[in-house]
Amino acid sequence: MCFSFLKCGFLCTKCGEKDKGALRISEGAAKALNYIVHSKMNALFSFEVSGNVLEELGRVSQRYMRDRLEKNYNKLDFIKTLTV
């Protein structure tokens, strides 16, 4: 399965190969993205994912923001370097 940033949605692997900007993602990441998009605000953070899926979600969301906002926000990178 792939996520197309041009079409802002999912593509099958075969169609994803035709979309140069599409990113291949796991089934778990696709399910998590679908949940995030369709859940109500009060239930948005009521699910858990593996570390690998969390990394995939991070890659997809960062690229999506960069593509949509047409800017790379370095403040997000700085926040990631902070330790609690």
> Which residues of the chain fall short of a pLDDT of 50?
none
Range of the domain at 47: 2-81
The per-residue pLDDT for 78 is: 65
Q: Residue 70 — left, alpha, or beta (φ > 0 → left; ψ -120 to 50 → alpha)?
A: left
The per-residue pLDDT for 82 is: 67
Structure pTM? 0.75
The per-residue pLDDT for 79 is: 64
Counting the structural domains of the chain, the total is 1
Instruction: Answer whether 2's CB lies under 8 Å from 15's CB.
Output: yes
